[in-house]
Amino acid sequence: MKKLMSILAAGMFALLLSSCGSNSPEAVVKKALNATLDGDGETYTELMFRFDESEWEGSDKQREKQMAKKAREIEKQAKRMAKADDDEKIDKFEIIDVTIDFDDEDRAEVEVKFFFEDGHTRKTTFYVRRTTEGNWRLVS
């Protein structure tokens, strides 16, 4: 179970890309988690923060390769979760709290509570950042 949560946390914290329908930290995390649970790697990668060009040292081809790899990881994770024992299967999740950074309003923390099929719960914090275009995205 720790491995599954580590994979989920690593996936959610990963980084990079484009836009979504709603523009709030909570909405981005909800959409990314739903994409993860559904095995929709493409949607997930679209919700990841893309570093400014000055912060990215690789080529566009490397970035595309990295995003495709991340999408495949999300899809594989969903398949593994479908076959997992009840103590590893996430039944649902709930946003508990959203905290905008006091010093930087373009950063926020979103606390999520996961409910597993066997009845136990676990809390995790996801970090989001607003792009220069004003869209919220997941960050590591």
CA proximity to 53, closest of 129, 131, 138, 136 = 131
44, 28 contact by CB (below 8 A): no
Q: Are 137 and 49 in contact (CB under 8 A)?
A: yes
Alpha helix (H) residue ranges in the chain? 2-13, 25-38, 41-46, 60-83
CA dihedral 13, 16, 20, 23 (to 10 degrees): 70
Q: Each residue of 79-133: pLDDT tens digit?
A: 888 887 777 888 899 999 999 999 999 999 999 999 999 999 999 999 999 988 8
List, for residues 34-85, the tens digit of each pLDDT value. 999 999 988 888 888 765 544 555 667 777 888 888 888 888 888 888 887 7
Give the chain's end-to-end CA distance (angstroms, integer).
21
Tell me the whole-structure pTM to 2 decimals. 0.72
Helix axes 60-83, 2-13, angle to 10 degrees: 150
